[in-house]
Amino acid sequence: MKFSANLGYLWIDRPLPDAIRAAKKAGFAAVECHWPYDTPSNDVKDALIETGLSMLGLNTRRGNPGENGLAAVPDRETEARAVIDEAIAYADAIDAGAIHVMAGIASGAAAHASFLKNLQYAVSQTSRTILIEPLNPHDAPGYFLSTTDQARDIIETIASDNLKLMFDCYHVGRTEGDVTTRLKELLPLIGHIQLASVPDRGAPDHGELHYPTVFSAISSLGWTRPLGAEFRPRHDDEPGEWLASLQHHPGEFNAD
Alpha helices in 66-208 (DSSP H): 77-94, 109-125, 148-158, 169-175, 179-186
- Active-site residue (options: 230, 238, 241, 252): 230
Listed as own residue / partner, the contacts of 16-23 with beta carbons closer than 8 Å and 24 or more positions apart are 16/43, 16/44, 16/47, 17/43, 17/44, 17/46, 17/47, 18/47, 20/44, 20/47, 20/48, 20/51, 20/53, 21/47, 21/50, 21/51, 23/51, 23/53, 23/239
The answer to whether residue 230 is catalytic is yes
- What does the alpha-carbon distance between residue 48 and residue 129 come to, in Å, rounded to a whole number? 19
For residue 21, give the H/E element and its range: helix 16-26
Q: What is the DSSP letter of 112?
A: H
Among residues 67, 79, 86, 133, the one annotated as catalytic is 133
CB 183 within 8 A of CB 150: no
CA torsion through residues 108, 113, 118, 123, sign: positive
Catalytic: 67?
no
What's the one-letter identity of residue 42? N
Helices 77-94, 109-125: axis angle to 10 degrees equals 30
Active centre residues (catalytic)? 133, 230
